[in-house]
Chain A
Amino acid sequence: MESVPLVDSMVINLLVGLSRAMILFIVSSGISFVLGVMRVPNLAHGSLYMIGAFSAQSISVLFGGSPVSFWLALILAPAVVALVSLIAERSIFCHLYQRDHLVLILFTFALSLILGDLVKLIWGTDYKSILAPASLRGSIPIFGASLPTYNFFLLALGPIVGIALWVFTNKTKMGKITRAAAVDREMVDAVGINVSWVFAVAFVIGCYLAGLGGSLVAPTVSISLGMDHTIMIEAFLIVTIGGLGNIWGALLGSVIFGLSQSFGVAFWPQFAIVFPYAAVVIVLMLKPRGLLKSVW
């Protein structure tokens, strides 16, 4: 069998794993952000990711043929998801903040079911497809293999999103308030800041990231019902191993997950499914509370 030299194979798999990790990071950072501030795992996150993908496709079709249709979809689709989450938060969720934690979790679960069926009602059951913009189509030959150009775009975008989140949480007033609320919401309330609106901001930002993840992944996958379930398991595992509520932990967890999958595929493809989950088990055995410090 003619095979690619080991070093070349490792570089290819590194790039593939990292590009996958960027999507996982963008989605899981949203869960981590909401979890960190509100201490609630948003079980509707996957549904919002799915809505992001479907919305991106619809917007792309709306501006069909236009060279900027993909870029418009990338801007507008996450905004649509943010709007949906704001409506859900302000209409029902915010009235439950004083209730038991379990009620909040159950609300997000109910929301995931409702949104899942709404997607079916609005978009139907047919598979949808969206193209990457012309400038990002095709593949780039690298070390004897071909990697889609779009994957390089994802590699560049992931760190930008991470930096943007860091700037928000560390350099903006609202960001600092959300960090403070994550640590001690009672004190934030005591100094006269409306914690309910802080939670709304955090929830919407988290959901925006879900929508962004869905929009970004749309050109690479079949946009279909059920894509919410697939991402949820992976995203929650990443948040768990990264450290609850820790954004940089989400990045580290995503990189571990993405790389273990791509190297697993390279070295033992028949059982590649196992590798990322084995990595999760090993991390939790060594660091039960996650790789980085949880925010609470």
Chain B
Amino acid sequence: MGKATVKMCMVMTILITVLALAPISSLARPIKIGIVDTYSGPAAVFCNDCLNGFKLALDDINKRGVLGTKIEFVTRDDKFKVDLGLSMAKELVMKEKVDVLVGTMSSGVAMALSDYARTQKVPFIVWLSKSDRITGEKGHRYAFMTSENTAMVGKAAAMEFARKPFKKFWIAGDDYEFGHAIANSTWGYLKKLKPEAELIGESWWKVGEPDLIPYITNILAAKPDVLIACTGGASMHNIMKVAKATEMTKKVQIWVHGATDYLVIKPLGREAPEGVMSSNAYQFYYPDVPSNKAFVKKFREAYGSPPSFMAFHGYNTAHFIAEAYKKAGAIDKEKFINALEGLKIDSPAGKIEMRACDHQVALPIYFGLSKLVPEYDFAIVTDVTTMAGKDVMPTCEEIMETRGK
């Protein structure tokens, strides 16, 4: 064999080796998730629980691996502030080079991050914020939502109120994006379903307002049939306390989305008010199916308490990410998005789908009244009515219309 031939063989060997190793080396790098959420202040309790659900899912997912690698994540605290959230997101995208952005509790921050994700062409999954504008009017290719949104909650509430003999309504809540979004959605749908419904007043307080007595006292004096309480975070807890202190449920039907979530209701113990209408996309004790029981058991073993609906969203988000990458077959942002559209996964509460037209997960909304029961040392929701996700979501045509398409 001549020298030239030997050289040729060596070059060919090296070339083939490099080409063979290249795809393996690109698959070897972990999938990186950048999470921007609120880990300080009153919202921290919810965001920590969400992260716990996410981590619980990742523990299982990473045992099997995804595309031959693991999913890793980094977190940043936005302190519930838009400017901070945005700068954290920029750092995650530009410096940490995350493959997917995930977040956040504040709808205001989520809207800012969504806009940024669009300009950077990075997939952004909203897992706790609920403003329907995120996947509705301001929705786009790069934004996804794994929690229920205010349009779904509002429509579900309107359907519930429409079939009951309520006529006079008062709207009150936190004066920020979520509060107004849920109010507008609920009232908008209610007027269509029940034109005779009358809005007799509105009250708006600053986010986290500790003293709701002046507001509630005046609302009670006006004698509405229903108080639509558009509260998030600590205000959910505050309004439940005030409802008990003023014996409100004896005079007015109050509705609070998320009022009987474990994290909100547990601190009140046996002193929680009964008769509060509460809605949610998940309760750890409902639905009472084997998959949910298994999830609750694993969560309790890992974290010492049952999961809240935030943990449910975090858990589902991890599975959506993993399944989408498996379907995409590569760590590629555009392929990931294509794979995520229309994807169905098994959640603890049953199969759920990421609707392709608007990137919104179709989740059922459960309605019921708070009640103290012997089995628990806190109030739970009973007489549950389930509204299927497909029945409460805006249609794809309505979504496109709001986007001006």
One digit per residue, 1 when the CB lies within 8 angstroms of any chain A CB and 0 when it does not, for chain B 202-224 equals 11111011110111011011110
B residues touching A (Cβ–Cβ < 8 Å)?
40-45, 48, 168, 172, 175, 200-206, 208-211, 213-215, 217-218, 220-223, 234, 237-238, 241-242, 245-247, 263-264, 266-269, 271
Find out whether the CB atom of A262 lies under 8 angstroms from the CB atom of B214. Answer: yes
Q: How far is the CB of A267 from chain B (nearest CB, A)?
A: 9
Q: What B residues does A170 contact at CB under 8 A? A: none
Query: Any chain B CB within 8 A of the CB of A270?
Result: yes
Residue of B nearest to A148 (CB): B245
Residue of B nearest to A15 (CB): B217
Residue of A nearest to B239 (CB): A222
Q: What A residues does B202 contact at CB under 8 A? A: 269-270
Q: What A residues does B242 contact at CB under 8 A? A: 220
Query: Any chain B CB within 8 A of the CB of A20?
Result: yes
Q: How far is the CB of B370 from chain A (nearest CB, A)?
A: 15
Also in contact, A13 and B214, with CB within 8 A (given A120-B40, A125-B44, A125-B45): yes
Interchain residue pairs with CB less than 8 A apart (5): A12-B217, A146-B220, A220-B211, A222-B210, A231-B210
Also in contact, A273 and B175, with CB within 8 A (given A12-B217, A128-B267, A265-B203): yes
Q: What B residues does A12 contact at CB under 8 A? A: 217-218, 221
Q: How far is the CB of A131 from chain B (nearest CB, A)?
A: 6
Q: What B residues does A226 contact at CB under 8 A? A: 40-43, 208, 234
Residue of A nearest to B272 (CB): A129
Q: What B residues does A271 contact at CB under 8 A? A: 204
Q: How far is the CB of B170 from chain A (nearest CB, A)?
A: 9
Other contacts beyond A16-B214, A125-B45, A272-B215: 20, CB < 8 A:
A2-B223, A3-B222, A3-B223, A9-B218, A12-B217, A12-B221, A16-B213, A20-B211, A116-B40, A126-B267, A127-B234, A129-B267, A148-B245, A151-B213, A224-B42, A224-B234, A230-B209, A265-B214, A269-B218, A270-B204
Find out whether the CB atom of B214 lies under 8 angstroms from the CB atom of A17. Answer: yes
Binds B, one of A32-40, A137-145, A194-202: A137-145
Find out whether the CB atom of A220 lies under 8 angstroms from the CB atom of B218. Answer: no
Find out whether the CB atom of A273 lies under 8 angstroms from the CB atom of B206. Answer: yes
Find out whether the CB atom of B214 lies under 8 angstroms from the CB atom of A261. Answer: yes
Q: How far is the CB of A259 from chain B (nearest CB, A)?
A: 10
Query: Any chain B CB within 8 A of the CB of A266?
Result: yes
Tell me which of B206, B247, B264 contacts A138 (CB under 8 A): B247
Q: What B residues does A74 contact at CB under 8 A? A: none
Query: Any chain B CB within 8 A of the CB of A282?
Result: no
Query: Any chain B CB within 8 A of the CB of A1?
Result: yes
